[in-house]
């Protein structure tokens, strides 16, 4: 069986959208790969590590990753279960127009100087809405193009993107925390439990995580759980079971957290995603 399964969802000549599923069999660094065109990639299930030289980025549902044309990279999968990503590629002239100049390697070339950026819940919701509506044929091409452009703008905008100035040692420590959380997403973690697994004190871990990610550790974990709900909603009608699977104390707790993050209840979001153009 192939390591990758690619489901084309949209290709208008200007924008292409693919749903990419990886089996995640490669625990250690893969052979070096290289993208032919620049892709903007939104992980929505699972976790993997992307390596560019000595730099490393965690790919999870709280981040967008940039696979630059002609740039070599490797991936590894420290967590079982593989991963899934929504991969967007747009015409170079549009990419140059969309990407803030401070994020470009060179103004005349549509490649980015960062591996990844953190995204907010609004961008996560757009990822799920675009994927579910295209998968179920409930959105027309022009509307999907507009939604994809909105997603890219949102992900690169100053209100949502967060680039850290933390040291490499702190970033690697926080990466280990992210891997730990992804290994048991529904667990109700305590700071002492994480500190015992990772090493260091709860205070130091809390401070390091805040510096690297710009949000508290508990909120980061909550957003991962809610992003997993976004992934599963289109195929799930039992919201109580979904809530329990993701570590929420009750359906009402889950629904309240979901609505606070995304502006509508899980049931409302599911209905919107499956009947986008209705």
- In the chain, the domains with their CATH numbers are 4-156 (2.60.120.280), 168-274 (1.10.10.60)
Answer whether 23's CB lies under 8 Å from 148's CB. no
> Which is higher by pLDDT, 165 or 146?
146
Nearest alpha-carbon partner for 116 in 173, 50, 72, 48 = 50
Residues paired with 16 in a beta bridge: 11, 89
Residues paired with 11 in a beta bridge: 16
pLDDT at 163 over 90: no
Nearest alpha-carbon partner for 74 in 94, 50, 98, 92 = 50
Q: How much is the pLDDT for 1?
A: 45
Q: Mean of the pLDDT values across residues 126-146?
A: 95
Alpha helices (H) along 157-216: 168-183, 191-198, 202-213
pLDDT interval class at 262 (50, 70, 90): very high
Count Cα atoms within 13 angstroms, Cβ side, for 101: 2
pLDDT interval class at 78 (50, 70, 90): very high
Cα separation, 19 vs 10, in Å, equals 10
SS3 275: coil
CA dihedral 264, 265, 269, 270 (to 10 degrees): -170
The residues near 165 (Cβ < 8 Å, ≥ 6 apart) are 211
Least confident of 27-31, 85-89, 151-155: 27-31
Residues paired with 207 in a beta bridge: none
Q: What is the CA radius of gyration of the chain?
A: 18
Neighbour tally for 98: CB within 10 Å: 15
Cα separation, 96 vs 38, in Å, equals 11
CA distances from 217 to 119, 258, 265 (A): 15, 18, 24
Q: How much is the pLDDT for 184?
A: 92
CA distances from 54 to 11, 32, 58, 75 (A): 34, 13, 13, 12
Supply the mean pLDDT for the chain: 91
């Amino acid at each position: 069986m192939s390591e990758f399964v690619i489901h084309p969802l949209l290709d208008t000549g200007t924008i292409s959208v693919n749903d990419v599923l990886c089996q995640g069999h490669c625990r250690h660094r893969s052979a070096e790969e290289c993208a032919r065109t620049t892709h903007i990639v939104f992980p929505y299930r699972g976790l993997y590590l992307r390596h560019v030289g000595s730099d490393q980025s965690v790919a999870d549902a709280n981040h967008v990753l940039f696979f630059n044309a002609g740039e070599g990279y490797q991936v590894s999968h420290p967590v079982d279960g593989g991963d899934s990503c929504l991969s967007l590629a747009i015409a170079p002239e549009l990419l140059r127009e969309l990407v803030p100049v401070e994020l470009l390697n060179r103004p005349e070339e549509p490649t980015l100087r960062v591996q990844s950026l953190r995204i907010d819940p609004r961008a996560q919701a757009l990822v799920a809405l675009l994927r579910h509506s295209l998968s179920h044929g409930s959105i027309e091409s022009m509307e999907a193009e507009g939604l994809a452009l909105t997603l890219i703008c949102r992900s690169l905008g100053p209100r949502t993107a967060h680039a850290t100035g933390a040291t490499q040692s702190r970033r690697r420590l926080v990466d280990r925390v992210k891997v730990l959380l992804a290994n048991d997403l529904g667990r109700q973690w305590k700071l002492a439990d994480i500190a015992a697994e990772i090493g260091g004190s709860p205070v130091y871990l809390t401070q390091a995580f805040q510096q690297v990610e710009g949000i508290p550790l508990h909120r980061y974990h909550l957003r991962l759980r809610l992003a997993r709900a976004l992934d599963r909603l289109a195929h799930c009608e039992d919201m109580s079971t979904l809530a329990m699977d993701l570590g929420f104390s009750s359906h009402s707790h889950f629904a309240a957290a979901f609505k606070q993050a995304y502006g509508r209840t899980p049931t409302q979001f599911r209905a919107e995603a499956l009947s986008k153009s209705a």
